[in-house]
A and B are shown apart, each in its own frame.
Chain A
Amino acid sequence: MRIHKIVMLGNKDHGKSTLIGNMLMLTKSISQERIDEAKRISRALGIPFEPGFLLDSFSDEREKAMTIDTSRAQLVYKNSAFELIDVPGHEELITNMLTGASSAGTAVLMVSAKHGEGISKQTKRHLLIAMMLGMRNIVVAVNKMDSEGYKIESFGEVRNRLSAFISSAHESMGAVNAEFVPISAYNGDNLISKSENMEWYGGPTLMELIYRYATGTGKRRDIGLRAVVQGEMQGNGLACKVVSGRLFTGQRVAVNPGRLLCTVNRIIRAGRSVPQAGAGASPVINLSPYSIMQRGGVISEATDMPMVGRNFSAFIFLSRIPKNPSIKINGAEAKCHIRIGRELDINTGRLKEGRAVSLGIYRASIKTLDELAFEKFNTLTELGRFTIYDSAGFSGLGIII
């Protein structure tokens, strides 16, 4: 079964862990043992049962009621499988949030309707990052409706304000579909079945929206063959990963950067020779003429090559300002210079003149020391995204536009 990966985004304390915990219980996807354990711990801490404890598994996470790192839980709904990814909503833990979000195809954004909580900077930042990572369908779960007497006005306020923000972000980040659903993660309203507490809401439940978005995001666009070189396999050939199209024996291919023209002689998949390999496969191949291939090189049909160069425009998110950065794209690594352009204003969602600060999203032009092969993010996601590092480690990510 294919598993649809869903990331839960939003400010900390707006109810992500509670939601996932309750969804697991309502769909009977968790053992009684785990539920009993979470109940025991809640009791020991002297608080009412926290469904979030089913996920937050470190003692410090439970005691401080704060998700520190990502965690995952699987459930089945209408014969489809989903993996819900919980990420920290805390500003300092943005790297962990990115780690979780990068593997998901659909996002649920949690916003608490509770008085004093509402839409925060962190809510908007998560939303913009999700848009940047290419998530075009976003379910907005307006949570804690119980603390606002399940009133339509509280829902309406969050919906109106966030819709306005999303529309102004369209211009720079592209359009997204956003659907809003009022819920109480704690009481279970509108999670799997319709709530009787909110008769005024006529739309689908949260799980139904997740189901529609995740299963409906149609087949990915396949451009021609694009396979990424992973490295030499000790004299046995070249390990690579097919990200689009199809490799077959006898095929005339080009390896870029460098425009090496070769023929595919042999394809070995999981130890066996096969005539072809499609997207998702990690075969070992023999090319003739043999030559040393760089990690991160892109194999394509000789007549249909990827973009190759040292300059490109990007949207980048910086978790920290890097010093002497390099970028990594499909295993290739290159020293680079990043020229920061306009900043995406976290308050308005529009581009404005800015200065590089951490936790910002920017338009940027990137110049690399070595030539790289890539695609625009919108053409082929896998070849159009990169990470940014410096000697102190990870400092951001980007997409090629």
Chain B
Amino acid sequence: MPNSVKFTINDRQLEAPAGTLVIEAAKRNGIEIPSFCYYEGLALQAACRMCLVEIEKAPKLMVACTTPVAEGMVVRTESEPVRQARKYMLEFLLSNHPLDCPVCDKGGECELQDMAFRYGVGESRFTEQKIHVDEKQWSPVVFYDMPRCILCFRCVRICNEGMGVNALGVINRGAVSEIAPNHGDHLECDECGMCIDICPVGALTSGTYRYKTRPWEMEHTGTICTHCSNGCKTTLGVRNDQIIRGNNRDRSGINGEFLCVKGRYGFDFQDHPDRLQSPLVRLDGKLEPVSWSKALEVVVQKFQEVKGRSGTVGVIGSNHTTNEENYYLQKFARQVLATNNIDHHRTGDVVTLVDAVSGSPAALATTRDLYEKKAILVIGADLALEQPFLSFQIRANYRHHQAHVYVVTAKPVREDNYAAAFLRAEPGAELSAVESLRDKLKGEPELVILYGDAMKGGAVRKLAAFGASLGIPVQYVPLVDYSNSRGAADMGLTPELLPGYKPLGLTGMTVAEMLAAEDLDLLWVVGANPLKNAKLQAKKAFVVVQEMFLTETAQIADVVLPAASAYEKNGTVTNVCGEVQRLQKAAQTMGAKPDLEIIGLIAKEMGVAREMGPWVPDKVFDEIRRTVRGYDIPVEAIMTGGAAQTMPVNGRIPIEVRVDSIRSAHDNLFTSGTLGRYSKMLNSVLEKRLNRE
């Protein structure tokens, strides 16, 4: 080991790199040193004194969380003085702490409770009256109960350092110290809940979860957030088919413990009272509930009729459905309905980039790269609001590795605060601003470039040429909006490309063209709402919609089939960086079915089940791995809850990208297309903000 030092802990000979903290060295060797304020990845605090250990030659007990190991150091973590010290520390911490574990939200998973159980004395010499301060609500999301707070400052540090929001502080002194929000009596912040989940005790609680259940009454399912394209892993706590909590306290997956407000609290669309639970068929001009078999019969009859007379068909897929569903849908459209009129709402230009960097290896960055690479260039995107996890990764990279961050955006963004350089450029003028950074960027050892939807077509080509001319390894992240926007493009939900970006040589209609086509006979919309701000021109078109809610599109449909949400099905999705991850069914809604099953049932009724193949997620994924370029990824990684990046398609894609159909919705932290409209939590945050303005 280079620069390593030898020392002993509890008489065990150990070795670790110089500079390693005693607490870390112990942990890596399976020795637990209890701690509260120490938190890996955050600034050192040494506030709680729980981690006291005995170090030979030191005149008194030392804090293991800020003391680095040294050559010949002799550490004892279980000696009598250490045990005593822990007892005293816990006695102090409990001197004002209410012993309301039976009714505390944290009971059962509280670090203080565990520590008191393991290291405490079980009785206290303090007989003074405890200080009481009433609980406060700081926002729809965040509640603070001062008496329970043990002043570890984890919340303050995760907000300042991890989120870059600086919304929390600690005020007053001594026993009356407390955590305070940035606006006197309320918070104005990202509402991410990072502070709540990092709190070791029940001092911070969330408006979503508080006092709804005991933690041990829930089942936990690790799945992928269904909102933005970043693809954070979220662990859903479910009781009686109701999702009660989202968090990622096991720090698994690409995002560790990060989740934004949408991933942590925006799951409540799932049991919104407006969820569709029965198929609807238009009878006498009105949508009426019917049985699944009746609805499928109507759909199949229509599909067959239109197919029989070679009518014009349009198929619109989704940015939220799984890869399997997208693949199966395009296969159905192309093989059964014999049409290339299939598209989805495109939110970023991936195709031009993949073509422009063809031949260069590893040109697409992973979310890990954003944390590790030496330099990052952000073009035309407000990452903190629109790509929260990517923004978190870049901030962590800056804090831990001093990465150089460059920013070219139209408006000020959070990344400016620590950028090596930031420039303002109107949409369309980004490239010349980027050009002015050439000398600085050339001096970097490596670079990752992220770009938003202002860059498309020719601009992306020029950007790739610029990257190539720097003479350093350059990777890219073409930003897209939603949980499976990348997967929709990869799986060929486009009129000009087959799955794996295989050029067709001909092209079908785009979404806009389908809506404008007066002769359209059949429109099949799966998990999208194209009519939110548009009109369907074809008056006589028969419209079939698979949806969770009666959206603008579903309202004009002839048949509406109730679809399961992403939290109610299995399958895979691909995030903005091309990382494939697995959805796991956490709950279910009576009456709704996963889109894959719905399409499968239609296939069965039409007698094409054999050629379409089984509508089982794992089976379809097998087919994807075998047939879709770039998807031959190691299954083990994703089966165990991890991520595997799709191999970039390394070859030219000789098509003209339809740049006019690329448009990001620029959803922010509190909006998320249709899902956001049906999330009470997200809406309550928005309302609160409006009321204050």
Q: State whether these chains interact.
A: no
